[in-house]
Amino acid sequence: MEDEIKITEVALRDGLQNEKKFIETESKFKFLKLLEEAGFNHIEITSFVRKDKIPALADAEEFSKKLNFNDDKSYSALTPNSIGLEKAIELGYKEIAIFGAASETFSKKNINATIQESIEKFKEVSIKAKQNSIKIRAYISTIIHCPYEGKIDSEKVIFLIEEFLNQGAYEISLGETIGLATSFEVEELLSKILKKFPAKLFAGHFHDTYSFALGNVSKSLEMGIRSFDSSAGGLGGCPYANGASGNLATEDLVFFLESSGYKTNIDLEKLILASKFIEEKLSRNLISKTYLAKK
Amino acid sequence: MEDEIKITEVALRDGLQNEKKFIETESKFKFLKLLEEAGFNHIEITSFVRKDKIPALADAEEFSKKLNFNDDKSYSALTPNSIGLEKAIELGYKEIAIFGAASETFSKKNINATIQESIEKFKEVSIKAKQNSIKIRAYISTIIHCPYEGKIDSEKVIFLIEEFLNQGAYEISLGETIGLATSFEVEELLSKILKKFPAKLFAGHFHDTYSFALGNVSKSLEMGIRSFDSSAGGLGGCPYANGASGNLATEDLVFFLESSGYKTNIDLEKLILASKFIEEKLSRNLISKTYLAKK
């Protein structure tokens, strides 16, 4: 349906990995259940990387073992390499995510590889994923601004999109990593991308560092995008990006979409209960405006 | 210039009147000076109403006496009636603001008059203001949603615009009082208004209760609006509107406008100093995202 929006809830992975406090596996699982009760079907669970690299997600395996992969939820895990992919497959994941950057410097700092090297690594992952009938979602970060390089050439984004589509990704999540892009810049980039590819291949992943995110969602909707990523309560951000105080809060996204006449199938009150639960565990105050106004 | 934006800084009036804590006159004056150092030329100072009605602004006269009305700043005061206007003229104001609502119920609850009664009262104020060469700015609140009546008929907004223009207002500030309107609704209303009147007559006054404000600013810019109201640090809101946690923060507005290539002539760092000062006086935490990311 034209007016139904897919929301990928990223608080458990993208959110928690940038929170200082480690959340116990049991609490992560409770948070997941609360999110599911609110109606989420697409949930990013964790990341399979070296445990010392992202301590917040060091329990990736233990947490994943608690999941029921046979129900109708779409759980995904970040698998930057073949070892991670194998672990994900072994645990039962049917969807994985790979993660590239349109900025050379950001790629090196974030995943310790040049863009070309990262593509080669992802190719290996993708081939193996397809052999195992695993769905592939691809993130492209720093699509407009990079904290190190400034404005990014849209050709670099388009190059990565082509590459990931060739590797078999069913959806590309366009990551505006540092929250600096305005709706005018989003319009400029999307108009170039959508000349070449259909809108249904893309999700918008906007950070809300300076409150620009919903304006970018609005512009993306106007241009035909019907899939967005967000994080319950606005959890997380990006540890490598200066001042990136957080992902777009799912509360703000859902309330904006519903107020705009789109269907999300998310129960906002139940979502707020999930955020309240994790807020207590994190012992810090969430600042999503919709959350604050309605909690 | 097409790309220059007028910002009317409303923290001292619209902001402080909705804060619980009374700010001493001396601190208000210091806050004003800090705002001026940041570059603001259009500053709403106070409101001339009965002292017991808005205790936060009970020092309207004392505060106004500290101002130098001969410099190049445009100071304005809310004058809902002739008594208020006379006081403002006596104190030296060269610009006043009147305040109507497009919702009948909101008008009754907010200013204790029907829309028609309020128009008659404003007419008296306007005639006297013009006789004294005082500029008139008119606010229309609840332009899209009313907390009591729900969605507002755009014809009611257009009726008030015509009325206020006939009374001699040089600018109409369109107030989206409860922050519920999406960019799609703003577009719908503005397209009707701008069929009848030129964009240069209007300012956008958006509340950021659910983070929708900058998307509305973005849409207004697209449609030709070049004047906006905002409140340093996001101070204030609307006491009669449920959940209206605050005005659009000037920090978010300025950073968005500058990032979008518009000129505001505001020094963001100095603005943040002003907000820091008032945050300490208010003893509560401000939640403007740009303020938090850059302070």
Q: Would you state the pLDDT for residue A63?
A: 98
Q: Percent of chain B, pLDDT > 90?
A: 84
Q: Would you state the pLDDT for residue A292?
A: 86
Report the predicted TM-score, pTM, of the whole model to 2 decimal places. Answer: 0.95
User: Do residue A211 and residue B182 have CB atoms under 8 angstroms apart?
Assistant: no
User: Do residue B211 and residue A256 have CB atoms under 8 angstroms apart?
Assistant: yes
Whether A146 sits among the annotated catalytic residues: the reply is no
Topology of domain A6-294, per CATH? TIM Barrel (3.20.20)
Residue of B nearest to A287 (CA): B287
Q: Would you state the pLDDT for residue B82?
A: 95
State the nearest Cα–Cα gap between A118 and chain B, in angstroms.
31
Q: Would you state the pLDDT for residue A286?
A: 85
pLDDT band for B110, please (50, 70, 90 cuts). Answer: confident
The C-alpha atoms of residue B94 and residue B86 are separated, in whole angstroms, by: 12
pLDDT at residue A254 greater than cutoff 80: yes
pLDDT band for A295, please (50, 70, 90 cuts). Answer: confident
Q: Judge if ipTM > 0.85.
A: yes
pLDDT in tens, A12-25: 999 999 888 899 99
Q: Which chain A residues have a beta carbon less than 8 Å from that of B256? A: 182, 210-212, 215
Q: Which chain A residues have a beta carbon less than 8 Å from that of B287? A: 287, 289, 292
Q: Is there a contact between A182 and A218 (Cβ–Cβ < 8 Å)?
A: no
Of B210, B217, B292, the CB nearest to A245: B292
pLDDT at residue A101 greater than cutoff 80: yes
pLDDT band for A240, please (50, 70, 90 cuts). Answer: very low
pLDDT in tens, B82-101: 999 999 999 999 999 999 99
pLDDT in tens, A162-207: 999 999 999 999 999 989 999 999 999 999 999 999 999 999 999 9
Rounded to an integer, the average pLDDT of B139-145 is 97
Domains of chain A: which residue ranges? 6-294
User: Do residue A210 and residue B255 have CB atoms under 8 angstroms apart?
Assistant: yes
Q: Would you state the pLDDT for residue B238?
A: 47
pLDDT at residue A77 greater than cutoff 60: yes
Contacting A with CB below 8 Å, chain B residues are 180, 182-184, 208-215, 217-219, 243, 245, 249, 252, 255-256, 259-261, 287-290, 292-294
Q: Which chain B residues have a beta carbon less than 8 Å from that of A287? A: 287, 289, 292
State the nearest Cα–Cα gap between B212 and chain A, in angstroms.
7
Which of B181, B238, B241, B266 is labelled catalytic? B238
Q: Would you state the pLDDT for residue A244?
A: 45
Q: Which chain A residues have a beta carbon less than 8 Å from that of B218? A: 182-184, 215, 218-219
State the nearest Cα–Cα gap between A11 and chain B, in angstroms.
19
Q: Any idea which residue has 């008659």 for tokens?
A: B120
pLDDT band for B285, please (50, 70, 90 cuts). Answer: confident
Structure-token pair, residue A108: 């090196």
pLDDT band for B215, please (50, 70, 90 cuts). Answer: very high
The C-alpha atoms of residue A129 and residue A96 are separated, in whole angstroms, by: 8
pLDDT at residue A243 greater than cutoff 60: no
User: Do residue A210 and residue B252 have CB atoms under 8 angstroms apart?
Assistant: yes
Of B184, B215, B294, the CB nearest to A215: B215
pLDDT at residue B108 greater than cutoff 90: yes
Average pLDDT of chain B is 93
pLDDT band for B242, please (50, 70, 90 cuts). Answer: very low
User: Do residue B260 and residue A180 have CB atoms under 8 angstroms apart?
Assistant: no
Q: Would you state the pLDDT for residue B224?
A: 97
pLDDT at residue B244 greater than cutoff 50: no
Rounded to an integer, the average pLDDT of B121-138 is 97
The C-alpha atoms of residue B67 and residue B73 are separated, in whole angstroms, by: 10
pLDDT at residue A1 greater than cutoff 90: no
Q: Would you state the pLDDT for residue A69?
A: 92
In three-state secondary structure terms, B49 is coil
Q: Would you state the pLDDT for residue A239?
A: 44
Determine which of A122-136, B62-76, B280-294 has the lowest per-residue pLDDT on average: B280-294
Residue of B nearest to A286 (CA): B287
Q: Would you state the pLDDT for residue B245?
A: 62
Rounded to an integer, the average pLDDT of A278-284 is 90
